[in-house]
Structure 1
Amino acid sequence: MRNRNSFYCIFHLYTIITWPVYFLVQKPWKAKANHNKLKSVALMHGDDFVLHRSVSDISDVHVRFIQDKIDTMEKVFRFAVRQHGQKAAVGTREILAEEDEIQPNGRIFKKFVLGSYQWRTFTQMDNEAESFGRGLRELGINAKENVVLFAETRAEWLIASNGCMKQNMPLVTLYATLGEDALIHGINETEVSCVVTSQELLPKFKNILPCTPNVTVLVVFEDAIKPLDLAGYGDVVKILPYREVIRLGEMSSKTGLLPKPEDTAFVMYTSGSTGPPKGVLMSHENVMSSMLAYTNVAVIFESDVYMAYLPLAHVLELIGESMCMLYGIPIGYSNPLTMTDNSSKIKRGSKGDASVLKPTIIACVPLILDRIYKSIQEKVESGSAVKKSLFNLAVQYKLDWFQRGYDTPIINSVLFRPVRAILGGRIRFILAGGAPLAPETHRCLRAALCCPVLQGYGLTETCSATTMMDFYDRSTGITGGPLSCCDIKLVNWDEGNYRVTDRPYPRGEIHVGGPNVAVGYFKQPEKTKEEFYEENGRRWFRTGDIGEFRPEGNLQIVDRKKDLVKLQYGEYVSLGKVESELKTCSLIDNVCVYADPTKMFVVALVMPNPDHLKSISMKSGISWNNIEDICLNSQMEKVYLTEIQKHGLKCRLEKFEIPQAIKLISEIWTPDMGLVTAAFKLKRKNIQDRYQLLIDRMYS
């Protein structure tokens, strides 16, 4: 308590000394005015809808692209090469060795010994992309033939994609984390003959090649230190190293076949966690519209450096890296296993990627930000009581003054320097997307990392672009105003009691309309017709998300129309699908799965089968008095959880779909209780309201 009072006195003295200077230099009234400025306006009101449009100006880059008719992604790349030819474009850390490191418990972990970043210039990248595209032509791949890219984020991914665009070959992107069934589905549905993958992922094809009869060519990005082993793949499919395709292209005389704005640029597959993954058809015009809209809100300098590690199969990362090329910003590649000094693959005493690269911009999903937040909290908690008290007071002090329009440069430099060093010490802003960001995480990181954390909202079907916070917005829990490429319409959803007449703010299902809205779903005309529509010459997409517009024109996501929830790392979980699989378990009479979008796993409320419950209690030596008591027994919960998880794996559920905590419910859900319909379908909202305390306990 004495230390805390001393710190209060120090902060009070600091305020007295610095406030007059900060008032004159920082002009907090301007910061507050920028925070409160209008982001969008309601253009149209109907009985069942309200339509909002951005009021932001378009950038000089945007104007130039319109004037110069730069209307395809291939033209963007050509523009970048002309503008930034000899500048560093893409960089990869040199892997010097892989060594065994013995842990205190005796276990041995493989660790990397990494060197410096090795850079390709824009001109070198262009030559490599040109050769790769021609190499594919030499292998018999023609214009408008789909090519699958199934690899981790790396420089070769971006180069290969640009090489394909130079030959008007649409890219089919599949997440490197997809299971075999989803991978087979994507390859067969798009009827590709060529798959580009990495040496690390190549072994998957030993199992799936018999199920993908159209595939005749596999191109492999080689590993930096391990030799490429091609044994066991048969002789039906030709397997070539990436460098061999480049060599073929260098000797080729074939010319480029340039795409048009309406041609398909990407068939971007979703993660597939709600059944077979859907391929979203994106034209060059769609992607261009999205990217140019971001140029209207992004503040980018020539000295910026971008750290890339999110999947390039995710549209957010693809747009981010495309913008870096446009502005001539170097892209340094990383991954979560080598990002920081304490990452799991970094040898003890070595530097992580962020410490070497010192990026100024990164894009993050909430899972990564939550990990950073937790690591900060753990470090604070493990320190002395004095350091803990000082840090917490500093964060709260900064947040209080931040809301008044002030920054705290001395505190930033003295107290938060070690925190900023986690990401290299130079981060200027962080883009957050892919799932909702918990407000507490948002506030803490904005204070401790001393930079804006800009949350956005977008979908694959809108090519990532829908809304984004601007640099002056000091809010949490909102996703910013609409981007200039689209209008946002809130439409009544009567079933969920969300209406545009709601007070204090209009609410409804979010529909997005504009040139950034995708063409539709690949080979799924009925699904396309269900989700997309044309109105007044504009293409619209029904998101299924429920939003509300705040007075300043910011959008806030408040609910989800379907039982589809996006978890912290961006995986979609279909609650109904998981429940239908778990209900096939003989131990369960009924189950309600719940997913908090700010968490990385699901939990479940389980109505156990009484006979099986009694049988298990006897086998486990748990005394049986009545069903109410046994459902409260923590040992029984553990037994049930283990069995449910085994059943989930047997049903081939993904790890993030399998409940990591359960609560046994002794009540029988009936229509009279209002927890199920007359047809015994779950009323999720009612169940959540009734058992909210149990749900909170499961997540804690």
Structure 2
Amino acid sequence: MHLGDMEGVGFAIGLGILQTLAFIYDVLTFPIYVLLQRPWRQRQMARKIKAFIASAEKEGKNDVSIDIQDSANNNVAIRPIKMKFQSQPITQDTKSITYRSTTQPSPLHVSLLREKIDTMAKLMDFINKKYPNKRCLGTREILGEDDEVQPNGRVFKKFNMGEYRWKTYSEINALATNFGRGLRELGCQPKENVVIFAETRAEWMIAAHGLFKQNIPLVTIYATLGDEAIAHGINETQVRTVITSYELMPKFKKILALTPTVKTLVYMEDQLRDLDKTGYKSDIDIVSFTDVVKKGRESKIESQPPDTEDIAIIMYTSGSTGVPKGVMILHKNLITTLKAFCDATEIYETDVMIGFLPLAHVFELLVETICLCAGVAIGYSSPLTMIDSSSKIKRGTKGDAAVLQPTCMTSVPLILDRIAKTIQDRVTKSSGFKKLIFKFAFDYKTKWRRRGYRTPLIDRSVFGPIRQLLGGHLRLIISGGAPLSPSTHELINNCLCITIMQGYGLTETTSCACVQDFHDPQYGRVGATTTVCEVKIVNWEEGNYRVTDKPYPRGEIIIGGDNVSAGYYKLPGKTEEDFYDADGKRWFKTGDVGEVHDDGVVKIIDRKKDLVKLQAGEYVSLGKVESILKTCPLVDNICVYGEPTQLYCVALVVPNQPQLMELAQKVGVEGKSFEELCELPELEKAVCAELAEHGKKGKLQKFEIPHAVKLVAEVWSPDMGLVTAAFKLKRKDIQDRYQCDLRRMYAS
């Protein structure tokens, strides 16, 4: 018998022993778990209908009476309230179906209605009255920066970090009020645009609310955009004042040459260093964040509260196609989405959130704001300091997550994919015994979780060390920005012992359309429509998607409600193309294709711009293929490309370095660097074969699997202009950069 056969027999015997022990344990503990966990409740919640077809003619009325809990005293007294849906009678036909949520408004939603909270300025005052002395925003103290010698002799700068320093809700409200007044003292006027160009941090949120209080539209620009894209946003909005950070001031020194309207720079200070103000244009006024707050504290200027129809934010999209567009988001839009989020999410006053995604994205801004509405403490972090192994954390010291011990966070699928691959990589490199334990524990937990049970013993003994990666107390991740692959969703749910809730929305719909139910056990779906909007599925004939399709209706997703923005800034033609008003609502054509399941939950299955028709007539959804192949351990990132004149697709692959090195050894290639391996034709063929195998497991058709690949050694980042700040592919830019490689693949 070969050694490999012996290992296989040993694995099977070990697995059999574990399964036998688990069976005995289940028999002994099953009655206890049934009584304590009451799994039928979980199954009942999972099966509930989450949306219905909005057909007012069938109902015989345009009003829907909803019973809501009296939020004034949080008791169980029920008081009916008429929630009028602003729509004419809607019927299902062969061209479209409109869905409406079945969820009732939460107590917080009702409080916002009763208190007539319809602007972000009113919201901040409401929050301040509710939680004046609770800790609100926290920043980790940096004690110093030390040199750390690496094993290869190189010296890296590492932070010596202390504890989190917190400010209360009343302190944050006072800072925001004074910052807004300080900007007025600098000459900023209501309805005059001001840019925030900075990384996510407490001062970002304070500055934003300071602007809201003075009815000054906030222009958000990603810190990772290229110079020309940044200048485009500033010049188009004719901004005179830019709020930035110490770290970005050197970058902005170069951008000033492209932005002649800018006259004032307000910078958020660094904890360790003072700003060198030399080398800037002589007519630029440079003021620190602290000095602006001080000016506001001494100011007699009164706040200028906005109206609900005033512009709160001009948010520049990250621009996956062409030049970034500025989306005009009204105060009404923001408050509407906040009502939806408080109905859909399960966030409690005792939670702690770790904030690190860009606040320049409306998704992060609104999730953090709903946390503030619930009295949650938000501690800020960055990818450079988040975990113990982050690049700026001194060896032997703790990352932000270990110190903060958050219970909830936001994420995007790319980050979750990387966490999943890290877990898989550790398991692959572990001993045979540890692999056996992991496989058994994962399968065991999956089986019982689907039945509505928790597995506390397995969670503590097997998955406990993995949980410590993010502080050990995490219970909820809210994922947005793109569809999350089912395999990643299930792996992280199980291994981190948490619940991931997917959401779906766009900047144009104020990040609101669908949110996954907390109790939904299925993966690969983005949830049902939220309480504040309607989702319409419309036939897309070219892509062969129709609402009459079986087993589920399919078509382009169109979103209607008060969450839909006013349109694109200074782009009336594009606004008219993508937005329209009908049935008393504003609607936005998303370009995404979805199917709606029997319980009213939406699954994103395609995107109109990602569809390519090959020479033989087959349609390939590039995004769908990429989402499946991205879960292959060999792939860090991938861009699939198809030519209408060709019979097959090709792909540009950013490989995972350790996995590629391992594959090279398998095919007999040794002594080469990562960059050299990426140039070898035999490695390209090997990767192509691995992708084909992985694609078959993911149920891709033969014509959907790339027939040739180019291995790309450089990591695609927003700085390169090849992905957006939300890490979505910028296909046109990638195709332009690798045009020669794409031609070579087809020629071969």
TM beyond 0.5: yes
1:654 matched to which residue of 2? 722
Provide the C-alpha distance between the structure 2 equivalents of 1:549 and 1:593, rounded to a whole number of angstroms.
21
Alignment equivalent of 1:21, drawn from 9, 32, 40: 32
Provide the C-alpha distance between the structure 2 equivalents of 1:666 and 1:157, rounded to a whole number of angstroms.
46
Q: Residue 555 of structure 2 contacts residue 593 of structure 2 at CA under 8 Å; is this kept in 1?
A: yes
Residue 665 of structure 1: how far off its partner (Å): 6.8
2:573 matched to which residue of 1? 526
Provide the C-alpha distance between the structure 1 equivalents of 2:14 and 2:158, rounded to a whole number of angstroms.
42
Residue 417 of structure 1: how far off its partner (Å): 1.1
Residue 287 of structure 1: how far off its partner (Å): 0.5
Residue 501 of structure 1: how far off its partner (Å): 0.5
1:334 matched to which residue of 2? 381
RMSD: 2.7
Provide the C-alpha distance between the structure 2 equivalents of 1:32 and 1:228, rounded to a whole number of angstroms.
58
Secondary structure of 1:257's aligned partner: coil
- TM (normalized to structure 1)? 0.84
1:374 matched to which residue of 2? 421
2:212 matched to which residue of 1? 165
Residue 39 of structure 1: how far off its partner (Å): 0.5
Larger mean Cα displacement after TM superposition, 223-232 or 353-362 = 223-232
How many residues align structurally?
619
Secondary structure of 2:162's aligned partner: strand
CA change 1:40–1:251 in 2 (3 A) is: same
Q: Residue 50 of structure 2 contacts residue 102 of structure 2 at CA under 8 Å; is this kept in 1?
A: yes
Provide the C-alpha distance between the structure 2 equivalents of 1:238 and 1:265, rounded to a whole number of angstroms.
25
Q: Residue 526 of structure 2 contacts residue 604 of structure 2 at CA under 8 Å; is this kept in 1?
A: yes
1:503 matched to which residue of 2? 550
Q: Residue 136 of structure 1 contacts residue 245 of structure 1 at CA under 8 Å; is this kept in 2?
A: yes
Q: Residue 545 of structure 1 contacts residue 559 of structure 1 at CA under 8 Å; is this kept in 2?
A: yes
1:518 aligned partner, one-letter code: S
2:22 matched to which residue of 1? 11
2:617 matched to which residue of 1? none
Alignment equivalent of 1:40, drawn from 38, 48, 51: 51
Provide the C-alpha distance between the structure 1 equivalents of 2:346 and 2:712, rounded to a whole number of angstroms.
49
2:511 matched to which residue of 1? 464
Residue 29 of structure 1: how far off its partner (Å): 2.1
Alignment of 1:241-256 (within 5 A): 241-256=288-303
CA change 1:642–1:429 in 2 (3 A) is: closer
2:446 matched to which residue of 1? 399
In structure 2, the gaps of 5 or more residues are 1-10, 55-90, 614-620, 631-636, 647-678, 688-707, 724-728
Provide the C-alpha distance between the structure 2 equivalents of 1:665 and 1:561, rounded to a whole number of angstroms.
27
2:151 aligned partner, one-letter code: P
CA offset digits 1:252-291 (Å, max 9, x no partner)? 1111000010000100111124221000000000000001
Q: Residue 195 of structure 1 contacts residue 217 of structure 1 at CA under 8 Å; is this kept in 2?
A: yes
CA offset digits 1:22-46 (Å, max 9, x no partner)? 1222222221111010000112302
Q: Residue 52 of structure 1 contacts residue 488 of structure 1 at CA under 8 Å; is this kept in 2?
A: yes
Secondary structure of 2:249's aligned partner: coil
CA change 1:636–1:406 in 2 (3 A) is: closer
CA offset digits 1:340-394 (Å, max 9, x no partner)? 1111211111111111111111111112211221222222222221111101210
1:201 matched to which residue of 2? 248
CA offset digits 1:645-700 (Å, max 9, x no partner)? 99x99x985365437996777767xxxxxxxxxxxxxxxxxxxxxxxxx9xxxxxx
Q: Residue 178 of structure 1 contacts residue 272 of structure 1 at CA under 8 Å; is this kept in 2?
A: no
Matched, 1:229 2:276: yes
Provide the C-alpha distance between the structure 1 equivalents of 2:370 and 2:503, rounded to a whole number of angstroms.
16
CA change 1:604–1:106 in 2 (3 A) is: farther
Secondary structure of 1:494's aligned partner: coil
Alignment equivalent of 2:587, drawn from 527, 536, 540: 540
1:579 matched to which residue of 2? none
1:244 aligned partner, one-letter code: D
Matched, 1:210 2:257: yes
Matched, 1:596 2:626: yes
Provide the C-alpha distance between the structure 2 equivalents of 1:195 and 1:229, rounded to a whole number of angstroms.
18
Provide the C-alpha distance between the structure 2 equivalents of 1:478 and 1:413, rounded to a whole number of angstroms.
29
Provide the C-alpha distance between the structure 2 equivalents of 1:186 and 1:666, rounded to a whole number of angstroms.
37
Matched, 1:512 2:559: yes
CA change 1:391–1:305 in 2 (3 A) is: same
CA change 1:645–1:187 in 2 (3 A) is: farther
1:313 matched to which residue of 2? 360
Provide the C-alpha distance between the structure 1 equivalents of 2:156 and 2:177, rounded to a whole number of angstroms.
40
Alignment of 1:54-203 (within 5 A): 54-203=101-250
Q: Residue 149 of structure 1 contacts residue 195 of structure 1 at CA under 8 Å; is this kept in 2?
A: yes
2:668 matched to which residue of 1? none
Residue 331 of structure 1: how far off its partner (Å): 0.4
CA offset digits 1:78-119 (Å, max 9, x no partner)? 111111111100000001111222222222222111100000
Secondary structure of 2:324's aligned partner: coil
CA offset digits 1:599-624 (Å, max 9, x no partner)? 4442446999xxxxxxxxxxxxxxxx
Q: Residue 605 of structure 1 contacts residue 665 of structure 1 at CA under 8 Å; is this kept in 2?
A: no
Q: Residue 366 of structure 1 contacts residue 432 of structure 1 at CA under 8 Å; is this kept in 2?
A: yes
1:596 aligned partner, one-letter code: E
Matched, 1:343 2:390: yes
CA change 1:278–1:346 in 2 (3 A) is: same
Secondary structure of 1:255's aligned partner: coil
Q: Residue 148 of structure 2 contacts residue 157 of structure 2 at CA under 8 Å; is this kept in 1?
A: yes
Residue 458 of structure 1: how far off its partner (Å): 0.8
Q: Residue 311 of structure 1 contacts residue 317 of structure 1 at CA under 8 Å; is this kept in 2?
A: yes
Provide the C-alpha distance between the structure 1 equivalents of 2:278 and 2:515, rounded to a whole number of angstroms.
48
Q: Residue 134 of structure 2 contacts residue 169 of structure 2 at CA under 8 Å; is this kept in 1?
A: yes
Alignment equivalent of 1:438, drawn from 479, 485, 488: 485
Alignment equivalent of 1:389, drawn from 427, 436, 441: 436
Secondary structure of 1:118's aligned partner: strand
Provide the C-alpha distance between the structure 1 equivalents of 2:296 and 2:231, rounded to a whole number of angstroms.
28
CA change 1:548–1:273 in 2 (3 A) is: closer
- TM (normalized to structure 2)? 0.79
Provide the C-alpha distance between the structure 2 equivalents of 1:644 and 1:463, rounded to a whole number of angstroms.
35
CA change 1:641–1:493 in 2 (3 A) is: closer
Larger mean Cα displacement after TM superposition, 97-106 or 483-492 = 97-106
Q: Residue 56 of structure 1 contacts residue 296 of structure 1 at CA under 8 Å; is this kept in 2?
A: yes
CA change 1:219–1:3 in 2 (3 A) is: same
Q: Residue 709 of structure 2 contacts residue 745 of structure 2 at CA under 8 Å; is this kept in 1?
A: no
1:654 aligned partner, one-letter code: L
In structure 1, the gaps of 5 or more residues are 565-574, 577-591, 609-630, 669-693, 695-700
CA change 1:527–1:605 in 2 (3 A) is: closer
Q: Residue 481 of structure 2 contacts residue 504 of structure 2 at CA under 8 Å; is this kept in 1?
A: yes
1:494 matched to which residue of 2? 541
Provide the C-alpha distance between the structure 1 equivalents of 2:604 and 2:745, rounded to a whole number of angstroms.
34
CA offset digits 1:572-608 (Å, max 9, x no partner)? xxx99xxxxxxxxxxxxxxx98772464442446999
Provide the C-alpha distance between the structure 1 equivalents of 2:710 and 2:292, rounded to a whole number of angstroms.
49
Provide the C-alpha distance between the structure 2 equivalents of 1:165 and 1:356, rounded to a whole number of angstroms.
32
Residue 556 of structure 1: how far off its partner (Å): 0.3
CA change 1:19–1:270 in 2 (3 A) is: same
Q: Residue 147 of structure 1 contacts residue 194 of structure 1 at CA under 8 Å; is this kept in 2?
A: yes
Alignment of 1:468-487 (within 5 A): 468-487=515-534
Q: Residue 353 of structure 2 contacts residue 376 of structure 2 at CA under 8 Å; is this kept in 1?
A: yes
1:239 matched to which residue of 2? 286
Residue 456 of structure 1: how far off its partner (Å): 1.1
Secondary structure of 2:547's aligned partner: coil
Residue 563 of structure 1: how far off its partner (Å): 3.3
Residue 5 of structure 1: how far off its partner (Å): 2.4
Provide the C-alpha distance between the structure 2 equivalents of 1:40 and 1:593, rounded to a whole number of angstroms.
29
Q: Residue 41 of structure 1 contacts residue 53 of structure 1 at CA under 8 Å; is this kept in 2?
A: yes
1:381 aligned partner, one-letter code: T
Residue 471 of structure 1: how far off its partner (Å): 1.3
Residue 642 of structure 1: how far off its partner (Å): 8.8
Q: Residue 605 of structure 1 contacts residue 663 of structure 1 at CA under 8 Å; is this kept in 2?
A: no
Q: Residue 182 of structure 1 contacts residue 272 of structure 1 at CA under 8 Å; is this kept in 2?
A: no
1:619 matched to which residue of 2? none
Residue 14 of structure 1: how far off its partner (Å): 2.0
Secondary structure of 1:465's aligned partner: coil
CA change 1:291–1:643 in 2 (3 A) is: closer
